[in-house]
Structure 1
């Protein structure tokens, strides 16, 4: 892409490299390393055991439990690695509602903290460059109040 940009003079590659949100790049790279380590430490096996237990409790508990588990993991571990880890943990559980609950949780959960989603981190970086500062607690206070009830209502539609 940098080669094409250089050929067409649409953007200067040095400008892109200089102004890239490197803290987000390093954060996401570190995130995948940590998640890989957690997987090797048995996180997926633990989640498989936990999700199998939830599934045995009936569809209501299975769906709500799966959705909130993936939401909390997404909020604090980021949604991209969470969806991957949870997909592995759910692969042998024959409950499509739990799979949908995982997808919903991984999409709504990141609204609870700023580092739950790389898109949010990029937006916050862009806003801070424009002089709009939104702190962790300011973002999380609102997200932690608004997200759980919305998540619950959406998950209940799967029952």
Structure 2
């Protein structure tokens, strides 16, 4: 609707849509909570929130810069030089609940701080996130007033939440463990062992390409778990090679889905 209001041509609209989707995936690397793929891998290998961020924030900056350069080189002729912002509705009009809006950013800042603080105590990110979500629900539902003055219908929000994604993810994990029992992860572990004999660089590059390719053809959610199981089963890997493979698996699963429409949720 916004693109139509601005009068973008079909080519300009395509450039905007492709750039938005591509950057959203390529920049989902820096934090554990940035992507479900990150959560799965960090949880499986017990990577602390701060350690994960220290490794992946620089990688994310490189991914963002590369994505912007490639997108600009490809779509530069389709990017409109000017557009009339007055055609778009005032942003303030989209705010339904001013109380929730005002508290959202302070809560998000506190949430980020809490992730780093609780990492030293091995507190699951789900607990920290759940506490912040509960605070937002309390604000939206005006629980201290027993619901009086509430603007947002919480029942509708909970009812229309995409719960099918949770069921889809659980189903995918069942498929993955079935593939493990069939020996797929054993074959992958053998490939990773062969890569591990060639050093950290070859191991990281090879693991990343394998994860990206598998993500493109069978979705990144099962792929990240397949990769994690393969890395766990691989024998004879040094600590540095294993760590490089773990992060390369995440990077491949975050970037690879852009190759095909079925690569990610």
TM-score by length of 1: 0.56
Summarize the Cα distance change of 1:103–1:18 in structure 2 as closer, same or farther, 3 Å threshold. Answer: closer
SS in 2 for 1:63: helix
Summarize the Cα distance change of 1:98–1:28 in structure 2 as closer, same or farther, 3 Å threshold. Answer: closer
Does residue 89 (structure 1) correspond to residue 230 (structure 2)? The answer is yes
1:31, 1:77 within 8 Å by CA — same for their partners in 2? Answer: no
The number of equivalent residue pairs is: 118
Match for residue 104 of structure 1 among 251, 256, 262 = 251
The within-5 A match list for 1:18-37 is: 18-37=159-178
TM-score by length of 2: 0.37
- Could you tell me how far 1:61 is from its partner in structure 2? 4.6
Gaps of 5+ in 1: 122-159
Q: Which residue of 2 aligns with 1:66?
A: 207
Q: Which residue of 2 aligns with 1:126?
A: none
| Greater length-normalized contact order (CA 8 Å, ≥ 6 residues apart) | 1
The within-5 A match list for 1:1-159 is: 1=134, 4=138, 6=141, 7=143, 8=147, 9=150, 11-57=152-198, 61-91=202-232, 92=235, 93-94=237-238, 95=241, 96-117=243-264, 121=265
Which segments of structure 1 move beyond 6 Å, counting only runs of 4 or more? none
Greater Rg, structure 1 or structure 2?
Answer: 2
Gaps of 5+ in 2: 1-133
Aligned-CA RMSD value = 3.0
Distance 2:151 2:220 in 1: 33
Summarize the Cα distance change of 1:62–1:22 in structure 2 as closer, same or farther, 3 Å threshold. Answer: same
SS in 1 for 2:226: helix
Distance 2:174 2:216 in 1: 17
- Could you tell me how far 1:60 is from its partner in structure 2? 5.6
